[in-house]
Amino acid sequence: MRLQVAPEQAGERLDALLAEPLGSRSRAARLIEAGAVTVDGAAVAKRHKVAAGEVVEVDDGADAPPAPEDVGATVDFAVPYEDEHLLVVDKPAGLVVHPGKGNRTGTLAQALAGVAAGGEDGWRAGIVHRLDRDTSGLLVVAKSEEAHRRLKAALQRREVTRQYTALVEGVPPARSGTVDAPIGRDRRVRTRMSTDTDEGRHAVTHFELEQVLGQGGARFALLRVKLETGRTHQIRVHLQAIGHPVAGDPEYGTAGLLGLERQFLHAARLAFAHPFTGAPVDVESALPADLRRALEEAEGGPDRRR
């Protein structure tokens, strides 16, 4: 979709301008955040005030689900916990959680069609929270509208423990710490998230040092990381912001480090009270083979445990 801003539309916020042609302001905001909207060829924030004559282009199919016959590829994943209300999925690296721009087929949401349910968007039914494509590990998926509502509410109340294992470049100066810094689109590189932003949203990440490793002068730290909020790329952005990017991270760190083809980040534990029974659900996931190999590579030098 392509439109030119009329003189009477000048000064409107971009998301408000697109609300009517896209069906809702929330959908407009999602497409803007996904990078599917440009103004005069550049990605801008949803709060951008449009000017007369500017050309707005929208990939208005970026959030649309593919036709069922186009879903295609078989998706492999493990299910370490399941009952009548929900399931916990152990997602491998490389698997996209739901369809989006550039990833229309072969997603987890599509593989769970007919099983997962709940949420406003049918094309990602049941998805309560997500993981980046190249982050492996655990996420919870609802099987009904009520289960989705209750799990979302628990997540917002910070009653869901999401614990990650991350190997980072260098060693933090403290055995534990908290990064409390808003995250939004980077001021200069709009495809990246950053703490250097004009549109930051509250974000808090906690970490604890598990192990210090060395390799011929290079030093790494194995961290246990917990999310208090859930912003896009939050762990990766926060650790990069304190000078300790996730090992192998192609966007925020050093690609290919320790032979990695992705960031060393794994959602290792997911714990919460069952939304219907209140019984504890506590699931753990072991490091996948590629991360174990990278850890062995990092252990090539002297190490010490704390």
User: Residues near 278 by Cβ (< 8 Å), separated by ≥ 6?
Assistant: none
Beta bridge partners of residue 15, listed in sequence order: none
Measured CA angle at 125 (ends 123, 129), to 5 deg: 110
Whether the Cβ atoms of residue 170 and residue 245 lie closer than 8 Å to each other: no
Task: Assess whether 132 carries a catalytic annotation.
Answer: yes
Computed from CA positions of residues 132, 33, 236, 274, in that sequence, does the dihedral angle turn out positive or negative?
negative
Which listed residue (63, 90, 132, 249) is catalytic?
132
Q: Tell me which residues are annotated as active site.
A: 132
